[in-house]
Chain A
Amino acid sequence: MVTPETGLTAERVLDELKKCGVTHLVFLTDTKARFICEAMMKQEEIALVPFCREGEGVAIAAGLVIGGKKPVVLYQNTGLYEAGDSIRTVALELRLPLLMIISYLGWRRDAPMTDSAGIFLEPTLKAWGIKYYLVQSDQDVAKISAADKQARETNRPVAILIATEY
């Protein structure tokens, strides 16, 4: 499945995650990243852990890391704001290498953003010292492996921002 404007292909994202050795996708689907979630549901190599609220998802992913697995947690940027305490205390203070895929609601390619969900995202990540990479098309999917490497080398959460318009 391809997002119409950018050509970001769920299968390419999935392949890159498999290349990284991801064992679990801990996720809450949303309007912008649902194409990734739907592709994930059609495969069995990566185990799926759906959750109800984003702070919960970060803690589940942390538990998986503590237990020796390699999860990626996927949610919308609106959920990042809800998950703040989990990110602060679990991912950051414990120095866990946690890859987060965050869909970038409000992102605009050629115009100023007007939605505060988008406007606040990058400043929030910068304030927390969380590195991030924008993934807009298939040409960017290698950034997922780069982010994963950075998370492992720094023992910190690193974010992949799915920046597509719809």
Chain B
Amino acid sequence: MMESLEAVKVISQHRGDALIVATMTPGTELPVVSTKPELDLSWHWAAMGKASSAALGIALARPDRKVFVLDSDGALLMNLGSLVTIANMAPPNFTHFLFDNRVYRCTGGQPLPRAGKLSFAALAREAGYPNVHEFSDKETLENNVDSVINQLGPTFVCLKVSPALEKPSFPYVPARDVIGRFRAALKRS
């Protein structure tokens, strides 16, 4: 089992110029390690569960760019149909990282429904993602991440991470500032 922050670091180090939409726990951690904040879209302020949907829209709008979403299990449970929508649209530039910690960390660590018994990888596979992976330690993730993100997507990567119980802090950044920076970076590139 790896720490969420370790996984975020690995993804950030291997991203290249990928655009990243990040929510919930990984969304609080990405700003700590990211070296390309202008290409990061924080999704704390917006509807929970909808980061993957916004990322899909961005991936469809910009097929020339790789788009990653760093999603959480609790958030995905709020928008399970999005797996089907994404698989149906099949954007080749889309990688869906799911941080599976089995708890609602941001509210104090209460367990998710069917915590530990639900396979998100199986859900993604049945929804129609052509590439599905699951990693539970940092070394294996690190050794495979390049080949995973270079597959023709959509690709789903379930990351088994520790259910750290301390509540993460959500630094307040005005949504319009985040989106303004992100859109400006997109226009430039």
CA gap between A132 and B84 in the complex, in Å: 31
Q: Judging by beta carbons under 8 Å apart, are A68 and B50 in contact?
A: no
B interface bracket (residues with beta carbon within 8 Å of A): 20 to 34
Q: Judging by beta carbons under 8 Å apart, are B79 and A68 in contact?
A: no
Q: Judging by beta carbons under 8 Å apart, are B186 and A63 in contact?
A: no
Chain B residues lying within 8 Å of A57, measured Cβ to Cβ, are 53
A interface bracket (residues with beta carbon within 8 Å of B): 20 to 34
Instruction: Identify A53's interface contact among B51, B79, B183, CB under 8 A.
Output: B79
Inter-chain contact count A-B, CB under 8 Å? 109
Interface of B, helix, strand, loop or mixed by DSSP:
helix
**Which of B48, B54, B176, B186 gathers most chain A CB within 10 Å?**
B54
CA gap between A60 and B147 in the complex, in Å: 27
Q: Judging by beta carbons under 8 Å apart, are B84 and A66 in contact?
A: no
Instruction: Identify B58's interface contact among A49, A56, A66, A89, CB under 8 A.
Output: A66
A59 with B60, Cβ < 8 A, contacts A50-B88, A68-B186, A68-B187 known: no
Instruction: Identify A67's interface contact among B46, B47, B57, B88, CB under 8 A.
Output: B57
**In the complex, per-residue mask of A43-74: 1 if CB is within 8 Å of any chain B CB, else 0:** 00001011111011111111111111101000
8 Å CB interface, B55-114 against A: 55-62, 79, 81-82, 84-85, 88-89
CA gap between A24 and B54 in the complex, in Å: 14
Does B135 have its Cβ within 8 Å of any Cβ on chain A?
no
Q: Judging by beta carbons under 8 Å apart, are B85 and A51 in contact?
A: yes
Instruction: Identify B84's interface contact among A52, A67, A88, CB under 8 A.
Output: A52
CA gap between A94 and B84 in the complex, in Å: 26
Chain B residues lying within 8 Å of A85, measured Cβ to Cβ, are 47-48
Residue of B nearest to A23 (CB): B61
Instruction: Identify A66's interface contact among B48, B61, B81, CB under 8 A.
Output: B61
Instruction: Identify A59's interface contact among B54, B61, B182, B186, CB under 8 A.
Output: B54
CA gap between A47 and B61 in the complex, in Å: 11
CA gap between A36 and B122 in the complex, in Å: 35
A90 with B50, Cβ < 8 A, contacts A63-B57, A66-B57, A66-B58 known: yes
**A contact residues vs B (CB 8 Å cutoff):** 24, 26, 47, 49-53, 55-69, 71, 85-86, 88-90, 93-95
**B contact residues vs A (CB 8 Å cutoff):** 21, 41, 45-51, 53-62, 79, 81-82, 84-85, 88-89, 175-176, 179, 182-183, 186-187
List 15 contacting pairs A-B, 8 Å CB cutoff, sorted by A: A49-B89, A55-B49, A56-B85, A58-B50, A60-B53, A63-B54, A63-B61, A64-B58, A66-B179, A67-B59, A90-B47, A90-B50, A90-B54, A93-B45, A93-B175
